[in-house]
Structure 1
Amino acid sequence: MSTVEPIVWHLDHLRLLDQRVLPHQTGYLTCRSAADVAEAIHAMAVRGAPAIGIAAAYGLVLAARAGLDGFEAAVAVLAASRPTAVNLRWALERMQRARASGADATALEAEAIAIHQEDLAQNLRMGELGAALLPKGARVLTHCNTGALATGGHGTALGVIRSAHAQGKIAQVYNTETRPWLQGARLTAWELQQEGIPARLIADGAAAHLMHVEKIDWVIVGADRIAANGDTANKIGTYQLAVAARYHGCKFMVVAPSGTFDLACDSGAQIPIEERTATELTEFRGQAIAPTGFDAFNPVFDVTPATLIDAIVCERGVIEQPNTAQVRALLGGH
């Protein structure tokens, strides 16, 4: 299990590892209100669907300690911080149910801690289940950051890689840079290096060529929302990886906890896709890289159809060749 702790609860404040400045700096944010947490989520100081949900739960504890009259207002502020990741909504709804059952600030704190601890346990279980699908000497490709930095610890897709490495199964990992925020280059590379996992960085546009010139056994990614039929929303660029993987005979694995499934969404067509400011593409660290005034299309997620997914791994089990019937059979009423 990773020693990285991106989210630390300190009773009267939440301490977040600022992922915007890694790997060259290690900085932390201190959040003392739900608004502080919402801003950290929106600004991507904390990111990764499970981590967002955990942080939001602690944000509601801070709101409750400031006075329960402002609890629902805090829910609204946090819900608006990132629209695509269903874990955020799931965590907020769980905290709301606890509040509706009469939970005070102390009980809400216990609920948030439980959400955090459960995520770590789920990650370890998913790591075990996903690693079992990999052959000895596996060569894998992963996208964005899905490790301890994006979760309560260990990771989802990167957790599978971490578990498989511990079992001696990993020959080589390739990780994408993940434009425009470079989560792969900055964060995934850092986590892989910290643990001595053999890895090489590739440009996002090099993935299909890599699959053409070298055998890749599995593409392993996380998810921000999974529809009832298995369609999966994840970091922009995931869909094209799935298309390239299918063409080149590489298997494609999605790893996410059961809380990432949204059974109210029949298909990926109903998943809202967050779009962010054009300057995230036209500038880099405040320096213009495109002509002044040039516009950009900047969706930060895309949807991979279930027909391109070989396996979805969650803590409850593995869904191979996912479809609506298989998803509901594993999750029931969720």
Structure 2
Amino acid sequence: MADQYAASASGTGSSVPALRWEELPEGPVLVLLDQRRLPTEEIELVCTDVPALIEAIRALAVRGAPLLGVAGAYGLALAAVRGFDVEEAAEMLAHARPTAVNLGYGVRRALAAYRTAAGSGADGLQAAAAALAEARALHQEDADASARMAAHGLELLEELLPGGGYRLLTHCNTGALVSGGEGTAFAVAGAAHRVRELRRLWVDETRPLLQGARLTAYEAARAGMPYTLLSDNAAGSLFSAGEVDAVLIGADRVAADGSVANKVGSYPLAVLARYHHVPFIVVAPTTTVDLGTSDGAAIEVEQRPGYEVTEFPGSVSGNPVAPLGTQAYNPAFDITPPELVTAIVTENGVVSPVTEAGLAELCARSRSGNGMMSI
């Protein structure tokens, strides 16, 4: 079950976290900032069980690859603490959104901790506590990874663009709303802003759900960044005019060969960047790299409801913009091949050029067995 209540935020960056665990008198809950209501309202959803969390994930009330991993871990802990079937909860959570690999990773982390505790003779409450501790650990790891990605990304920009004064183009939303920290690609832009090297952040509105307009612009405004919003199909004119120094995007899954699944519209940006000799940089934690998926063709691309395209602004209650009965093609993601990616920035370093061997070597230094088990 999920309930709603209003939250307030003030100052630089939202003071309302995207996700938090809270102990209420009636029992533990997972509290989510409902990203569907931004930027006009800051409303929190209170999830008391796994079905409510799954509904929030599928409806994109909570989203973003790293944060979905954290949400999956907390969801498993929620099931354990409240006495629900943990194995069933793990199966349901891991498949709530097929493209985002972090979701399953977070679920597996918490499930492994639960199984280990239970197998060592712990009772239900102790095993649940172990799952919750693992979720909290993952949450902190994600925040730490965000800071390291920002540092590595800024260093890469300084290397590629020694003149400074960066004009960066970003797509979808990759800030604090998708992370336990400051985000992925947006965190790099934030780091450039703090050292006064961000001349302009170009923000794609990102169709069909306008996550750039609603969320990235929201975060950029609160951080005091110099930013400009543009329609997705205006990006080409910016490249043509020489107004883009680099493209920064996140990722929902990176295949073993370096193919990148990200919000639909990312691939055209990569093609534009290659044609105009502009660096195309992917920023993502190593948990987003899926060495078990061989290449881009093996990535399952989620298909979203047609009304997100035929109605504006992409919600059930939106205003129709197409004739009744119009069919819509609405993939949530597209795939960018590795040859179009200048570099992949992770918390443990940068892979450039992007190769299967380079990714495997990077992941070997950071991966532990607890994230690789099957449910």
Q: Shared fold (TM-score greater than 0.5)? A: yes
Residue 133 of structure 2 aligns with which residue?
Answer: 110
Aligned CA RMSD, in angstroms, stands at 1.3
8 Å contact kept, 2:72–2:104: no
Alignment of 1:237-248 (within 5 A): 237-248=265-276
Residue 360 of structure 2 aligns with which residue?
Answer: 328
1:152 corresponds to 2:184 = no
For structure 2, which runs of at least 5 residues remain unmatched after alignment? 1-11, 119-126, 368-375
8 Å contact kept, 1:14–1:58: yes
Distance 1:190 1:121 in 2: 23
Residue 123 of structure 2 aligns with which residue?
Answer: none
Residue 44 of structure 1 aligns with which residue?
Answer: 60
Deviations 1:295-320 (A, max 9, x none): 01110101100000001000110001
Residue 121 of structure 1 aligns with which residue?
Answer: 144
> Helix, strand or coil for the counterpart of 1:24?
coil
TM superposition shift of 1:111: 0.5
TM superposition shift of 1:2: 4.8
- Residue 249 (structure 1) aligned to one of 277, 281, 298: 277
Aligned positions, number: 333
Distance 1:2 1:120 in 2: 15
Residue 373 of structure 2 aligns with which residue?
Answer: none
TM superposition shift of 1:9: 1.1
TM superposition shift of 1:168: 1.5
> Helix, strand or coil for the counterpart of 2:36?
coil
Residue 35 of structure 1 aligns with which residue?
Answer: 51
1:15 corresponds to 2:31 = yes
Residue 79 of structure 1 aligns with which residue?
Answer: 94
- Residue 317 (structure 1) aligned to one of 318, 327, 349: 349
8 Å contact kept, 1:38–1:56: no
- Residue 277 (structure 1) aligned to one of 305, 325, 328: 305
8 Å contact kept, 2:170–2:202: yes
- Residue 208 (structure 1) aligned to one of 236, 239, 243: 236
TM superposition shift of 1:3: 4.8
8 Å contact kept, 1:212–1:248: yes
8 Å contact kept, 2:154–2:188: yes
Alignment of 1:283-294 (within 5 A): 283-284=311-312, 285=315, 286=317, 287-294=319-326
> Helix, strand or coil for the counterpart of 1:141?
strand
8 Å contact kept, 2:247–2:273: yes
TM superposition shift of 1:233: 0.3
Residue 258 of structure 1 aligns with which residue?
Answer: 286
Residue 334 of structure 2 aligns with which residue?
Answer: 302
1:54 corresponds to 2:82 = no
Alignment TM-score, normalising by the size of structure 1? 0.97
Distance 1:263 1:81 in 2: 20
TM superposition shift of 1:72: 0.9
For structure 1, which runs of at least 5 residues remain unmatched after alignment? none
> Helix, strand or coil for the counterpart of 1:297?
coil
What's the % identity of the aligned pairs?
47
> Helix, strand or coil for the counterpart of 1:20?
helix
- Residue 107 (structure 2) aligned to one of 67, 84, 92: 92
Distance 1:327 1:78 in 2: 27
TM superposition shift of 1:214: 2.8
Distance 1:270 1:256 in 2: 19
Deviations 1:143-196 (A, max 9, x none): 000000011120100011011111121111101001111000000001000011
Distance 2:55 2:324 in 1: 28
Q: 2:193 corresponds to which letter in structure 1?
A: H
8 Å contact kept, 1:2–1:154: no
Distance 1:49 1:311 in 2: 19
Residue 143 of structure 1 aligns with which residue?
Answer: 171
Alignment TM-score, normalising by the size of structure 2? 0.87
Q: Which has the larger radius of gyration?
A: 2
8 Å contact kept, 2:13–2:222: no
Alignment of 1:127-206 (within 5 A): 127-134=150-157, 135=161, 136-206=164-234
TM superposition shift of 1:266: 1.3
Alignment of 1:56-71 (within 5 A): 56-67=72-83, 70-71=85-86
Distance 2:340 2:109 in 1: 32
Distance 1:91 1:113 in 2: 11
> Helix, strand or coil for the counterpart of 2:35?
coil
